[in-house]
């Protein structure tokens, strides 16, 4: 997503802008873009781009499997695709609903059974539709998410912990009243769907989606062949990092795939590949709710971006050392996949390839992130009021720190020191400050030669 903010909000002059629309760049132009991104800007180690249109598909790649590997990435290189998994979970829901096994408005409580207590509010229950449209009222992450290994944060989060959280959590707003992106919600949906079919998520998605679509290189558990072709994940500093495992919240981001397999998925969504799931996919494309970010809507799993007279269906993904983007335009029957083995976002590249009026992000002044103990992030987690109805929400996810401003997407910030953090998508910094008692009581936004202070709100 893009920072496109005014007034007191972050302003990204270097972000997406307006230019004449055009077709997807040629292979040579794509190679130049990727070479600049990898070799000059040092934003990844290897990037693979796939494009599909009525004329067919093509794949362009640049870079290596790892910083110390001579092996080039290609269309069969395996990457973690992170939250793109969420659209597979949504199609699973549509498929099961289509055959009458359940309904979109089935309460998730019914699938989990009486041993689990799902929170309710004012007599309303959380439905499967609420979960896939991020309108359940559940937070982005459970408050008992405390990974032993920040490098693989989801690995030790158990079903018992998930149930414990659900039983103890009190919803802060009415179910269905707002849209708030939730890894927890979609992870719970994937778990509940698998439970209803008396299987596990990986088996369910393989049997009902991957096998019918012929996506033999998409999975959670990798074969020996896939492991040989796995790109090593890297931090934004281009240091190798561990792969992520999501045993309990698999439906939120556990899948791994290749550009060739993901192009097959795009073709099926565009109706360019015959599929028994066409009706179910079409169901997921329908807009259901407005997303908080301007011009964004939510279908079943899919985010829909409206702009320049077009509706682009898309989703991105990010794990510790990978970033991914998948998007398509149903009218022009054009789709794009971008997979990268670093922690630097590729959203701008994905949107630019779909519509050149969305410009490539020009990185701000080169800054180097330093290593800090992620435990310090816990001191910063909270809400900070910048102005009336304008609040920074700071969250931690494993060894990563995120900041979200009211009505905008969430963005990762990177440590320049233990207290100073910078954005990579816009030329801005944030400094956390402490009061006389030593506790963090404010942050300061540094941007456009201005310093704006936001006081910490008392609730956490």
Q: Calculate what percentage of the chain has a pLDDT beyond 70.
A: 94
Q: What average pLDDT is seen over the chain? A: 91
- The band of 368, judged by pLDDT with boundaries at 50, 70 and 90, is confident
- Domain annotation covers residue 10: no
Asked if the structure places residue 2 within a domain, the reply is no
DSSP-assigned states of every residue in 424-459: SSSS-EEEEEE-TTSSEEEEEEEETTEEEEEEEPS-
**201 and 279 in a common domain:** yes
- How much is the average pLDDT of 184-201? 98
Structural domains counted in the chain? 2
What is the residue range of 209's domain? 17-360
The pLDDT of residue 19 is: 35
85-98 vs 183-196: helix axis angle to the nearest 10? 40
pLDDT at 167: 97
Q: 82-86, 123-127, 177-181: lowest mean pLDDT where?
A: 177-181
pLDDT > 90? residue 398:
no
Q: Does one domain contain both 321 and 254?
A: yes
CATH, residue 337: 3.40.710.10
pLDDT value, residue 16: 35
In this structure, the answer to whether residues 199 and 336 fall within a common structural domain is yes
- What is the predicted pLDDT for the residue at 11? 38
Average pLDDT over residues 175-196: 96
pLDDT of 208 above 70: yes
Two tokens at 436? Answer: 């006389």
Taking each helix axis as running N to C, give the angle between helix 278-285 and helix 85-98, from 0 to 180 degrees, rounded to the nearest 10: 120
Round to whole Å and give the CA distance between 314 and 324: 11
Q: Which of 303, 337, 360 is the last residue of a domain?
A: 360
Spatial neighbors of 267 by CB under 8 A, at least 6 apart, are 52, 57, 273, 335
Residue 11 lies in a domain: no
Per-residue model confidence (pLDDT) at position 125: 98
Kindly list the distances between the CA atom of residue 10 and the CA atoms of 15, 247, 343, in Å, as whole numbers in the listed order: 11, 36, 22
> What does the pLDDT read at residue 22?
52
pTM over 0.95? The answer is: no
Q: Does 368 fall in a domain? A: no
Structural contact between residues 42 and 30, judged by C-beta atoms closer than 8 angstroms: no
Residue at token pair 């299987």: 199
Answer yes or no: do 308 and 395 share one domain.
Answer: no
Q: What is the DSSP letter of 230?
A: B
3-class DSSP assignment, residue 374: helix
Q: Quick one: 68 and 184 in the same domain? A: yes
Among residues 10, 11, 21, the alpha carbon closest in space to that of 351 is found at 21
Residue 293 and residue 440 in one domain? no
Residue 367 covered by a domain: no
234 found inside a domain = yes
Do 228 and 338 belong together in one domain? yes
What confidence score (pLDDT) does residue 460 get? 46
- pLDDT-based confidence at 241, cuts 50/70/90? very high
Residue-wise pLDDT tens digits, 341-355: 999 999 999 999 999
* Surface-to-core class of residue 170, CB atoms within 10 Å of its CB (0-12 exposed, 13-18 middle, 19+ buried): exposed
Answer for the pair 76, 264: CB distance below 8 angstroms, yes or no.
no
- Are residues 341 and 417 both part of a single domain? no
Where a domain ends, among 360, 389, 419? Answer: 360
Q: Is the pLDDT of residue 31 over 50?
A: yes
Check whether residue 40 and residue 183 sit in a common domain: yes
Query: Are 276 and 129 found together in one domain?
Result: yes
Banded model confidence at residue 294, pLDDT cuts 50, 70, 90: confident
- Out of 360, 392, 424, a domain closes at 360
What does the pLDDT read at residue 306? Answer: 95
Determine the Cα–Cα distance for residues 150 and 158; give it in Å rounded to an integer.
16
Q: Please check whether residues 417 and 346 belong to one and the same domain.
A: no
Same domain, 30 and 94: yes
Summarised one tens digit per residue, pLDDT across range 248-283 is 999 999 999 999 999 999 999 999 999 999 999 999
């Amino acid at each position: 997503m893009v920072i496109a903010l005014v007034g007191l909000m972050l302003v990204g002059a270097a972000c997406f802008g307006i230019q004449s629309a055009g077709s997807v760049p040629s292979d040579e132009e794509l190679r130049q873009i990727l070479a600049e991104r990898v070799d000059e800007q040092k934003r990844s180690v290897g990037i693979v781009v796939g494009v599909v249109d009525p004329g067919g598909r093509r794949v362009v790649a640049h870079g290596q499997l790892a910083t110390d590997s001579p092996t080039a990435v290609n269309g069969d290189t395996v990457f973690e695709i992170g939250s793109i998994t969420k659209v597979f979970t949504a199609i699973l829901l549509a498929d099961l609903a289509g055959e009458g096994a359940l309904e979109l408005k089935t309460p998730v409580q019914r699938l989990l059974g009486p041993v689990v207590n799902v929170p309710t509010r004012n007599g309303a229950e959380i439905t499967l539709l609420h979960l896939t449209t991020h309108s359940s009222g559940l937070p982005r992450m459970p408050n008992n998410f405390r990974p032993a290994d920040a490098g693989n944060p989801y690995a030790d989060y158990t079903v018992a912990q998930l149930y414990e959280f659900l039983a103890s959590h009190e919803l802060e707003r009415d179910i269905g009243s707002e849209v708030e992106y939730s890894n927890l919600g979609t992870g719970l949906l994937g778990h509940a769907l698998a439970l209803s079919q008396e299987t596990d998520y990986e088996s369910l998605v393989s049997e009902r989606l991957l096998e019918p679509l012929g996506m033999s290189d998409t999975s959670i558990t990798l074969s020996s062949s896939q492991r040989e072709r796995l790109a090593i994940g890297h931090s934004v500093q281009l240091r190798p990092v561990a792969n992520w495992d999501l045993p309990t919240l698999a439906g939120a981001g556990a899948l791994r795939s290749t550009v060739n397999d993901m192009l097959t998925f795009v073709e099926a969504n565009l109706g360019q590949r015959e599929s028994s799931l066409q009706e179910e996919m079409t169901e997921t494309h329908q807009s259901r709710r407005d997303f908080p970010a301007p011009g964004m809507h939510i279908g079943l799993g899919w985010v829909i971006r409206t702009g320049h007279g077009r509706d682009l269906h898309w989703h991105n993904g990010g794990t510790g050392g990978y970033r991914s983007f998948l998007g398509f335009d149903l009218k022009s029957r054009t789709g794009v996949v971008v997979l990268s083995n670093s922690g630097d976002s590729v959203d701008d590249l994905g949107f630019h390839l779909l519509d050149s009026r969305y410009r490539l992000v020009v990185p701000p002044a080169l800054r180097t992130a330093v290593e800090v103990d992620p435990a310090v992030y816990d001191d910063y987690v909270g809400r900070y009021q910048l102005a009336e109805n304008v609040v920074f929400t700071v969250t931690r996810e494993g060894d990563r720190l995120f900041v979200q401003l009211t009505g905008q997407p969430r963005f990762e910030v990177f440590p320049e020191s233990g207290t100073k953090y910078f954005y990579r998508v816009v030329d801005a910094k944030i400094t956390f400050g402490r009061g006389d008692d030593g506790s963090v009581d404010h942050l300061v936004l540094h941007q456009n030669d201005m310093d704006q202070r936001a006081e910490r709100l008392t609730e956490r």
